[in-house]
Chain A
Amino acid sequence: MSDPDKFTLALPKGRVMEESLEILQRAGLTLTLNGKGRALRFDAGDAIIIEMRNSDVPTYVDLGVADAGIVGKDVLVESGRNVYEPVDLGFQACRLSFIRPKGASGPVRRVASKYPHIALTYLRGLGNSAEVIKLSGSVELACLTGLADGVVDIVQTGGTLRANGLEEVDVIMQSSARLVVNRAALKLKAQTLRPLITRLRELAGSSQKTPI
Chain B
Amino acid sequence: MLGAPPEGTRFGLPDEAAARVRIVTTLQTLFDSWGYALVDTPVLEHYDPAHPRAAQSFKLSDRDSGVLALRSDFTPAIAHLVRSHFDENAPQRFQYCGKAWQAINPDFARTREFTQVGLELTGISNPRADAELIHLAREAVREVGLVPRVELGNPGFVRALFDLAEVPEDSQETLANTIDRKDVAGLEEMLDSYKLSPDLKAALLGVADLYGDVTILNEARQLAPWPETLRALDDLEAILAEFEDLDELLLDFGRARRLSYYTGVTFQAYTFDFGQPLLGGGRYDGALLPYAAGFTIGLERLLLALPPHGDYTPPLILSLDDAGARRLRAAGYRVERGLFANVDEARAYTLARGIPYLLSDAGLEALTKNKPEYDDLLNLLEANYV
Contacts and interface: CB of A to CB of B under 8 A. Distances in A.
Interface in B174-190: 181-186, 188
Given A85-B183, A187-B149, A188-B149, A207 B270 contact: no
Contacts of A64: 274-276
A64 B272 CA distance: 11
Nearest to A62: B275
A211 B183 contact: no
A65 interface: yes
Interface in A1-34: 1-2
Nearest to B188: A207
B344 interface: no
B275 A208 contact: no
A85 B182 contact: yes
A184 interface: yes
Interface residues of A, number: 33
B185 A187 contact: no
Contacts of B186: 85, 88
B206 interface: yes
Interface in A181-207: 181-188, 190, 194, 201, 207
Given A63-B276, A184-B274, A184-B277, A211 B182 contact: no
B380 interface: no
B230 to A, nearest CB: 17
Given A63-B109, A83-B181, A207-B185, A187 B209 contact: no
B182 A188 contact: no
Most buried by A among B202, B273, B277: B273
Interface in A71-92: 80, 82-88
Contact of A187 (B208, B211, B219): B211
Contact of B212 (A88, A190, A201): A190
Given A207-B185, A208-B184, A210-B209, A187 B276 contact: no
A131 to B, nearest CB: 19
A126 interface: no
A120 to B, nearest CB: 13
A40 interface: no
B184 A86 contact: yes
A62 B275 CA distance: 7
Nearest to A185: B275
Nearest to B109: A63
B205 interface: yes
Contacts of A61: 275
Interface string B186-230: 101000000000000010011011111000000100110000000
A59 B107 CA distance: 10
Contact of A86 (B149, B151, B208): B208
B186 to A, nearest CB: 8
Contact of B209 (A182, A185, A211): A211
Contacts of A182: 275
A212 interface: yes
Q: Which of B109, B185, B202, B208 has its CB near the most chain A CB atoms (within 10 A)?
A: B185
B184 to A, nearest CB: 5
Given A183-B275, A187-B250, A211 B206 contact: yes
Given A65-B275, A86-B208, 13 more contacts: A67-B275, A80-B108, A85-B183, A86-B183, A86-B184, A88-B185, A183-B277, A184-B275, A185-B275, A186-B211, A187-B270, A211-B223, A212-B223
Please provide the 6 A-B residue pairs with the shortest distance between their CB atoms, ordered closest to farther: A64-B275, A88-B185, A211-B206, A184-B270, A84-B182, A86-B182
Interface of B: 108-109, 147, 149, 151, 181-186, 188, 202, 205-206, 208-212, 219, 222-223, 250, 252, 270, 272-277
